[in-house]
Structure 1
Amino acid sequence: MAAKVGVGLLGLGTVGGGVASILQNPSERHPLVGELELIRVAVRDLNRPRPVALDESLLTTDPSAVIQDPAVDVVVEVIGGLEPARSLILQAIAAGKSVVTANKAVIARHGQEIAEAAAAAGVYVLIEAAVGGGIPIIEPLKQSLGGNRINRVSGIINGTTNYILTRMAEEGAAYDAVLKDAQELGYAEADPAADVDGLDAADKIAILATLAFGGSVDRAAVPTDGISGLQGVDVDYANQLGYGVKLLAVAERMAESGDPLPLSLRVQPTLVPKDHPLAGVNGVNNAILVEGDPIGRVMFYGPGAGAGPTASAVVADILNIAGIRQASEGPGNVDPLLAASSWRPCALVDSGDIRQRHYVRFKTKDAPGVIGNVGGCFGQRNVSIQSIVQFNASDAGAEIVVITHEVSQRQMNEALDAIQALPEVSGLAAHLGCL
């Protein structure tokens, strides 16, 4: 019988508890799960209630004790945040331990540093749980789709915002009321900024872009707009025009090739046509749409967060390492793998060069010629309009909603500046992306 694979766990919260539960109950799972042994678990407070019952002898408040334990082969980091998580991951690598992490914030910002350390140490760092919860997307991008030239990766990769937008669309509920419900249900944190401001999705699309296009990207340079300013009226207007509203994260190549390869990344509320594959992704579910040559379109769909789905992805990575370990003759045969390992330089284009369709809503006077003047400002800047509709005309004014064809962000901004300078336009009330 092969030797047991020792697992050390850093963190025993929602995800950590889910991982421990799987390892403690291997029956009816893949046979290799039975070869995994939970050796040590680092927790913040030994007296805190646990999501899973564990022998007290496994627990410690010292993460280094887990990392340095000679019986630990794989260190699982599920404490979250940037520090001490980054330092602990690097410490585990330096100790010759392979690492599994669900930490998208660390990988998005320090993936290259971690990749280089893992390569030098000859160990694995696997991150399936960092993006998409239980959806297998990391390994497919690294391996199954490796023969394709990826052109675009887009998706709904934050379950909290998708739950909120689904409720707003289906019930006409107000954003603040649905956010409160999401917090009570545990979908949103007490401080929901990482979710509703798009920061979580930006971390994840930075990781997916690195995988898809083969080079690290500057996470801080990803244009990011969340849903906290989204008004229910725009969700309603979008529905009337044949669209749903989703918080989309998008990464796409801007040229056939280049050195560095030019990429466009963005996170923003976006109108999605109702016949688009992403339009039917509702509730807390996630979906990632990969478009490449020669495969065409492939969509990965499933639960994007929670103890069960995320723990499933973590254990899958542990099994991956355990399987390779059993198939090899020793650690010297390990080929270092990290999702963020690169083969080409990549660079984000200037945000003004990003091209897409747009949805905009203006508050205006209800007067003759307003629509013509708005359209004229767009036309003078070569912004082609798909549709222009007036809503809610009254003595108090009107609202004009415009959907454009694809145009650069720079042209769009110039047109918006000109329109807002018109005396009959009182303001730009909303500006969203549009597929």
Structure 2
Amino acid sequence: MQDRKAIEGLTSAEVVAEWHELARAIEAANIAYHRDDAPQITDADYDALKRRLIALEARFPDLAVADSPTRKVGGALAEGFAKLRHAVPMFSLENAFEDGDVVDFLERIRKYLGHDGVLHFTAEPKIDGLSLSLRYEGGNLVQAATRGDGEVGENVTANARTIADIPRHLSGAPEVLEVRGEVYMSHADFAALNTRQAASGEKTFANPRNAAAGSLRQLDADITAARPLRFFAYSWGQVTAPLAGTQIGAMDRLRALGFQVNSLTVLCTGPDALLAHYRRIEAQRASLGYDIDGVVYKVNDLALQRRLGFRAATPRWALAHKFPAELAWTRLLAIDIQVGRTGALSPVARLAPLTVGGVVVSNATLHNEDYIAGRNSKGEPIRDGADIRVGDWVQVYRAGDVIPKVAAVDLTRRPATAVPFAF
């Protein structure tokens, strides 16, 4: 995110202008991620935008209007689907990117509760897929809805019934039970799907999350049925009888009912144990066989969860500790120009294949002519002003662990024959 003036030094007009700029940028990012399944900015950049907006609203409370992005969950719904209102809202999670944020999270909880004793937390992988709510009545699956805007989601009941990991019938469940979790696609299934798509002349998917989201959100359930979707349960909504007294106990109950619950979910005490498990999961990330983008911490005692409650859009008792974007070096073999449907020119880097975040990457977006030349849209230098040339060694990351991008250029390894790219 661009450098911004200290809030204390902004005029009233500058504050209002920046608020609207941030709100538009966040709304566009929400639409790209939640509705179009095509994120355009990194998770870290998105979180920085929201933190800046929160800081503006904290200093100027009149800006914290009801439709502020800081009070919203998810994004706009896709056309064509019937809408379903969630009996209990599907909130998003507060994000953290630094170890210190986790320590602060624990301290806020202690302060809010006035609690000096031992607190237990669950820690589980944050699956990179599409959130789904399943409603069971009398043990039968009667509704399935995407998160949508947190209050209303898309009705994908027929599609959810085709997923093998989702039970159609439960034995011994409460009369009403809403199970929340994540629909995802394994790396192996994703690769096989793209091979089939390419062989039949159909569109291939950029990554497993897009494939999972696009496969679930089909108006034709037969298409969904032909896609290798999976489901991990991680929470619940409306329930007519308690599942357990703790988060870990509730997960055990869901597992006993027939749901897949991630085996890397553990119980921890204190920040050191949480961060140690975060690092263990991060070390296993590339070998899991499916995409994760962080670790989620939750207060284990459900009575304490209820006391802590919710903010406008996030629970006070949970935190998503995101992984940093994984970086790797490779050689840039060529730059191709793709022409979009509107005639827009989009340069694409063709790379010597490399593995980033457990996914083989051979292409990366180069955005536009300015980006290749080493400057942003305002003419300011990026990458210390280094341009990008065919033959360069470039550092690649998956933005928000989704879109491959070029982070840096190693000028010390630039071939003598490399010339500036002519757009």
What TM-score, normalized to structure 1? Answer: 0.23
> Structure 2-normalised TM-score?
0.23
Larger Rg: 1
Which has a greater percent of helix? 1
